[in-house]
């Protein structure tokens, strides 16, 4: 029998290019992680996954490695350019930490280079995760493993892009000692010389805690566990944030399948988002815990509604659990309470098949209000934390955030009045514009609640859209606040325009916060961004040359 000899083209295809040969087993098309068969992913609810071609698998594997290299650079740079403690910097004792600390500008630029690689990898992954009417090339499991790989280098590094974690540590110590976190700020409560109080950002040093008892209970438990160690406390809070993100990811997948949204696309937009990775993992913000409680609570509540007719006992148990979970989200930050309204209106819609509309809405509202009160009392009694958070929500409003439209209007209006010789009335203008913004947001939220009751919008969609408007008109807006809306909407919104808008916002605002989370001298800021831009451009040029020289055959 004559053996057929393969031609030169076939032999080249078998051998692949130099780039294919050096791709690790994690991403090569023949490896376990790259076998993205449709039948394999269908068991996970990803029935629309299409098996990628060899070049597609190679491109996706390369993007995963670029993102990983980006977070490695961020992690290394964070040891010197991150949000380090004000005194007794423990990261200086780590290998290379002291050197990076002395090279602040270099390490800050290193972080921004890593951010650039992470953002670029994330953006170029968009075609692989699918969209409305477009099948994806990767499944849920691959997307989750990508997230895990990208965040591992951030776990041991210093806090990034914010100093807020030191407020969490100080407030946790206050609660652990049986003191009242709502009575005074960390400096007054712990003492000006306390190591934790000395690292609290100046703006929060004299302010009582704005967080609810769930957030403070977690901080207190970690304070007891770590013995008020700064390093151990940072790591413990970061692991709790990752647990919250993991819960949110479960909720995103479940809600996406419920809303007929491709789960990997929802995970890519909401969980793999660089803004979330940088600020909720790197910055360790409480939004990670809030989103975990909120999204799990939403899915549990909707499962209860699904079985209300067939298994009423089971359904009501799920609805009670949902109300408690969403209440816990609000007991981290009050914006989490919004979810109670939308699950309540979904319940009212079901009850309205038997009761008058007004009675159904009143019954659902009474149930949700009762669960809110019961959960709040139970958490407060269990933790020993009082109710000072109810009246302590206005502390953050002292900040003038340029991202807040209502704040910008008030400040500009005040300055115009000064130019007209009417005096300095900026604070009075801020009171008016911020109140007007919140009134408009509340009116729009009521409209979305009514639309949910009528069935013209899904509860998850109503929650997300109402939260978008709230964030836009909120008195204080930080770059990561839109995640309150982006993560739930990722599981519901399927329009390409929304995805493009979120991608653009996330990519741009990933660069607009300095790694230390503090203002620096303008000259230092220019040096940091300029050097990072030059280095990143050089890397892009090198990558293009390598692609032209070695990678074209395997990536096209």
Which three-class secondary structure state does DSSP give residue 131? strand
Please tell me the predicted confidence (pLDDT) of residue 18. 34
d(CA 446, CA 269): 27
DSSP 485: H
Which three-class secondary structure state does DSSP give residue 81? helix
d(CA 411, CA 429): 7
d(CA 226, CA 168): 13
What sign does the CA torsion over 359, 365, 369, 370 have? positive
d(CA 67, CA 274): 10
pTM of the complete model: 0.86
Length of the chain: 556
Neighbouring residues of 551: CB distance < 8 A, sequence distance ≥ 6: 17, 18, 19, 62
Encoded tokens for 30: 């023949």
Each of the 556 residues of the chain gets a pLDDT tens digit; together they read 333 444 444 443 333 333 333 333 233 333 333 333 333 333 344 556 777 777 778 888 889 999 999 999 999 888 888 888 766 666 655 555 555 555 555 788 899 999 999 999 999 999 888 766 667 788 899 999 999 999 999 999 999 998 889 999 999 999 999 888 888 888 888 888 888 888 888 777 788 888 899 999 999 999 999 988 888 999 999 999 999 999 999 999 999 999 888 899 999 999 999 999 999 999 999 999 999 999 999 999 999 999 888 898 999 999 999 999 999 999 999 999 999 999 999 999 999 988 899 999 999 999 999 999 999 999 988 888 878 777 765 555 566 777 888 888 988 888 888 888 777 778 888 889 999 999 999 999 999 999 999 999 999 999 999 999 999 999 888 999 999 999 999 999 888 889 999 999 999 999 988 888 776 778 878 888 888 889 889 988 888 887 777 666 656 6
DSSP 2: P
Q: Which helix (H) or strand (E) holds 426?
A: helix 426-454
* Alpha carbon separation from 433 to 391, 407, 420, 426, 440 (Å, rounded): 21, 7, 19, 10, 11
d(CA 245, CA 266): 14
For the chain, which residues make up each domain, given as ranges? 32-41+49-160+514-555
Which three-class secondary structure state does DSSP give residue 118? helix
Confirm if 503 and 126 have CB atoms less than 8 A apart: yes
Which three-class secondary structure state does DSSP give residue 134? strand
The per-type count for the chain, helices as H runs and strands as E runs, is 27, 0
């Amino acid at each position: 029998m004559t053996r057929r000899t393969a031609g030169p083209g076939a032999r080249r295809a078998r051998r692949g290019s130099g780039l294919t040969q050096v791709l690790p087993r994690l991403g090569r098309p023949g490896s376990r992680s790259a076998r993205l068969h449709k039948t394999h992913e269908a068991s996970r609810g990803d029935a629309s996954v299409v098996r990628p071609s060899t070049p597609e698998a190679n491109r996706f594997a390369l993007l995963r490695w670029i993102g990983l290299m980006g977070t490695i650079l961020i992690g290394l740079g964070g040891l010197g350019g991150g949000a380090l403690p004000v005194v007794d910097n423990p990261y200086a004792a780590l290998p290379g930490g002291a050197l990076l600390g002395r090279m602040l500008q270099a390490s800050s630029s290193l972080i921004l280079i890593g951010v650039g690689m992470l953002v670029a990898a994330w953006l170029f992954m968009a075609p692989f995760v699918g969209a409305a009417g477009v099948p994806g090339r990767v499944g849920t499991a691959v997307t989750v493993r990508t997230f895990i790989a990208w965040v591992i280098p951030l776990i041991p590094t210093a806090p990034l892009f914010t100093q807020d974690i030191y407020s969490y540590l100080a407030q946790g110590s206050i609660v652990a000692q049986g003191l009242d976190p709502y009575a005074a700020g960390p400096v007054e409560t712990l003492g000006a010389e306390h190591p934790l109080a000395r690292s609290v950002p100046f703006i929060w040093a004299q302010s009582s805690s704005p967080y609810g008892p769930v957030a403070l209970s977690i901080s207190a438990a970690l304070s007891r566990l770590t013995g008020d160690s700064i390093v151990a406390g940072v790591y413990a809070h970061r692991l709790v944030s990752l647990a919250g993100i993991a819960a949110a990811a479960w909720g995103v997948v479940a809600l996406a399948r419920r809303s007929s949204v491709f789960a990997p696309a929802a995970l890519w937009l909401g969980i793999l988002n660089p803004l979330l990775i940088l600020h909720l993992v790197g910055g360790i913000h409480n939004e990670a815990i809030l989103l975990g409680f909120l999204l799990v609570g939403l899915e549990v509540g909707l499962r209860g509604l699904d079985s209300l007719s067939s298994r009423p006992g089971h359904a009501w148990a799920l609805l009670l659990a949902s109300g408690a979970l969403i209440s816990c989200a609000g007991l981290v930050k009050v914006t989490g309470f919004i979810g109670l309204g939308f699950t309540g209106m979904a319940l009212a819609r079901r009850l309205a098949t038997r009761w008058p509309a007004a009675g159904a809405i009143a019954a659902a509202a009474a149930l949700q209000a009762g669960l809110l009160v019961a959960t709040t009392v139970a958490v407060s009694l269990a933790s020993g934390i009082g109710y000072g958070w109810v009246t302590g929500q206005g502390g953050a409003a002292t900040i003038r955030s340029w991202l807040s439209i209502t704040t910008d209007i008030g400040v500009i209006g005040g300055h115009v009045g000064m130019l007209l010789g009417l005096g300095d009335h900026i604070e009075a203008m801020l009171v008016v514009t911020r109140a007007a913004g919140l009134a408009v947001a509340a009116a729009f939220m009521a409209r979305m609640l009514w639309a949910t009751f009528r069935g013209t919008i899904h509860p998850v969609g109503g929650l997300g859209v109402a939260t978008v408007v709230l964030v836009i008109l909120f008195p204080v807006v930080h770059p990561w606040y839109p995640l309150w809306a982006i993560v739930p909407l990722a599981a519901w919104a399927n329009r390409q325009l929304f995805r493009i808008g979120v991608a653009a916002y996330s990519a741009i605002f990933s660069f607009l916060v300095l790694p230390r989370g503090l203002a620096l001298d303008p000259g230092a800021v220019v040096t940091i961004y300029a050097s990072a831009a030059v280095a990143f451009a050089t890397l892009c040029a090198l990558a293009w040359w390598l692609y032209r020289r070695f990678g074209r055959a395997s990536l096209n």
